[in-house]
Structure 1
């Protein structure tokens, strides 16, 4: 299983990165090396799941995968910096001159998983006409907290987290790329403040991809439930016993070194900040 941090900027695209967009891939070789997946009849091909698709994410995503080959889009919540490029993806899947459904006559029904209003929000962002549906291109499916969703070799489980809107952290399990035959797990916090849900999300994972948009002291006056600081992300990692901490969703006005230093006051394991285009083999 491979994680590509396609977009890591917090709240809006930065000068060096799109907003939130993360690609989880399972190469065909990893599927073939898993006796459990072979026995379950999972097709031994490359699989790709996108976690969030914020502003600018679709453009950068094309460096790593043809959008028409994405197997599912999993949205943590419906703020624009996590979902706005669904509109561009709709255009790509419908109107691509060779692979688009308008040309082929075959609707892709790409699974788009997200909060309860995901279909309504997607239509509003695109500006569909009254009564017009996007369901042929997308197959919308609302999350149910704790209910796992299987996408080929990957299992995605949503955990409700603390944010002003309906929001989920996403726990993803799949075959290891570095330990053939074993299963590995990563957790992505989405946007959240410190809460029991985010700790349970991260419990014992190999890699925790945690937002750290706020800074201790600087952002103390902002209403609670918005974002983690580097320190609080470190607390989550320590309480959950994660194997590795990767900080992300840092706004352009924040210094990643500050977030990382804060995290290291609470968490003694391997920790770093993500950059656009980083690749993590699990």
Structure 2
């Protein structure tokens, strides 16, 4: 199929860092172009939010940055929907959902259903999902060219560069400062960056970014706009925003759960959503 140069729409399904917040789910995003729907991460509460915006059966692919619960917990509930829905719109065993994820994803997700090690040897979710391990090579997924790179966070964790013919969205995943983030974000129209905490020299390295570090990344990479996400519920988003604005002179804002952003517009246009 030949894809056009489509408008790329980013919807924030969840943006609370490390766990669900009092008014919103943990990490989850929907990226759409030319009728193709790609979900990125399914943290706690994200499947409920997804159903506000589209039928989960209409997803064309899933992309996971890593397998910490705040980024993948709702995969188990999606598995229930795809396996046991009494009136699915299509045969889910014939139209399996592609899942691009860290290599251990099939075993990790299957463990949620296997009650013993013996059962785990034969249990998997390949009846309704088609798993693809993430690699450094760019991958074509619908209208998107996705480049994944290992970033600085405990476990197998990736950031992404998601490109069409007309737009580039970079997503940090969860990460401390590292060269891979700069490569992914270089010249991106929009950098969707985690900013879990405010800046302090005693923060543990190789875990998360501060607002200041997210701003510095956007500046060094020459990103067009900076969207801040994954702010922990106990962190003041206003302080994180001020840090980022001091380090980056381009447009910057804290995303809102339910907000919609056109990635390839000269100015980000936001509709809907509410603060987390």
* TM-score, length basis structure 1: 0.86
Return the offset for 1:105: 7.0
Which residue pairs with 1:254 in the alignment?
235
Per-residue CA deviations over 1:170-190 (Å, capped at 9, x if unaligned) read 111125xxxxxxx10101100
Return the offset for 1:265: 1.5
CA contact (8 A) 1:75 1:82 kept: yes
User: Which of 126, 135, 158 is equivalent to 1:168?
Assistant: 158
Per-residue CA deviations over 1:202-234 (Å, capped at 9, x if unaligned) read 0000000000002113xx434211100000001
Return the offset for 1:160: 1.4
Q: Secondary structure at the match of 1:199?
A: helix
Please tell me whether residue 208 in structure 1 is matched to residue 191 in structure 2: yes
Q: Secondary structure at the match of 1:208?
A: strand
CA contact (8 A) 1:7 1:276 kept: yes
Which residue pairs with 1:180 in the alignment?
none
Instruction: State the distance in 1 between where 2:40 and 2:219 align.
Output: 24
Per-residue CA deviations over 1:224-270 (Å, capped at 9, x if unaligned) read 11100000001110000000000000111111111111111211100
Which residue pairs with 2:211 in the alignment?
230
Consecutive unaligned residues of structure 2, counting only runs of 5 or more, are: 1-7, 264-276
Matching of residues 257-268 of structure 1 within 5 Å: 257-268=238-249
Q: Secondary structure at the match of 1:242?
A: coil
Instruction: State the distance in 2 between where 1:184 and 1:214 align.
Output: 29
The size of the alignment, in residue pairs, is: 252
User: Which of 23, 26, 31 is equivalent to 1:19?
Assistant: 26
Moved runs in structure 1, 4+ residues, more than 6 A? Answer: none
Instruction: State the distance in 1 between where 2:170 and 2:112 align.
Output: 28
Q: How much is the aligned-residue C-alpha RMSD, in angstroms?
A: 1.5
Return the offset for 1:126: 3.7
